[in-house]
Amino acid sequence: MSQLCVLCLDNSHFMVNEDLLPSRLAVQREAANALIHQILSSNAESRVAILQLAPNAKPVRTLTTDEVLLMRALYGVSADGQLRFTRGLEIALLVLKNAPQSETTVRKRVLAFVGSPVSEEDIKQLPSTARKLRRANVSIDIVSFGPEAETDRQKQVLREFLSQMTCDSHLVCVPKDNDMNYFLSTSILFSNAVSLVNERTDPEIAIAVKQSAAEHNTRLDAEMKRAIQESEKSSGIKTESKNSTKETEKNEQTVLSEEEQLALALQLSLLETQIKKSDKKQ
């Protein structure tokens, strides 16, 4: 079955912490990249979008099948501000609701990383968010990591939230001092992953998978180096425009209401679809 998945990254200021090396954000990116590859390789019709959860939750890449574009979006997200968990989930729901309809059966899914404390404001809004997701038949998988994943309070909040979901939803808590990539590869999130092919029973398929994975990693390494070089070249420009950009963002936040910000996020998610339709007509 193909799926439409919105991958939500926790990019709050907690993600600069180095209790996970080299940082929580870097470890999260690697794990997200592996999950994206698993989703897209499992079905050619599956698409993934990326959404950041801080400081103002918003999409950074609309639904696509292009792994390179998704990787660039991953590495373009920086740590800043406070986690906006419920707002991010509701924007992810808007992205999925307004995705082009497919003739085939499609699973709609949100995959959220949470490595920061969930605020009291978010906790109060979680029941309402759960109802919205449930009515839209959207499942949610949560990867909880970092010291906050070990607290009883955080576990209880996330478990109670998922208990209100009727769809196939899961909570995966990554234990302290565990390699996140390896831990997730053995979790329910990778239960249908191609990378778990049994080498004894399917040796030919296993070899093909390894070759495909090697090619995939080589291509992404090249793209990553290119993205880093482009980032270094533009760093001077970014530094000069930093103050003016912050002032603009403050003005926008003052002017836009919550409804207007949601509408803006929805426009971003629909932009790529409108462009594709226009190209087809031409």
Determine, yes or no, domain membership for 214: no
What's the pTM value of the predicted model, to 2 decimals? 0.70
pLDDT, position 234? 55
Residue 28 lies in a domain: yes
7-55 pLDDT per residue, tens? 999 999 999 988 888 899 999 999 999 999 999 988 888 999 999 999 9
Q: Is the pLDDT confidence value at 157 over 60? A: yes
For 194-227, the pLDDT digits (tens) are 333 333 344 554 454 445 545 544 554 565 556 5
Query: Total structural domains in the chain?
Result: 1
Sheet strands side by side (includes 2-9): 58-64, 47-52, 2-9, 106-114, 139-144, 170-173
pLDDT in tens, 222-253: 655 565 566 556 545 444 444 444 444 444 34
Asked if residue 250 is part of any domain, the answer here is yes
Print the domain residue range for 94.
2-196+241-281
Residue 177: pLDDT band (50, 70, 90) is: confident
Instruction: Please write the tens of the pLDDT for every residue from 105-146.
Output: 688 999 999 999 999 999 999 999 999 999 999 999 999 998
The answer as to whether 208 is a domain residue is no
Q: Is residue 62 included in any domain, yes or no?
A: yes
The answer to whether residue 230 sits within a structural domain is no
Range scoring the smallest mean pLDDT among 180-184, 192-196, 274-278:
192-196
In a domain, 234, yes or no: no
Q: Which of 57, 98, 69, 102 is nearest to 270 (CA)?
A: 98
CATH code, 264? 3.40.50.410
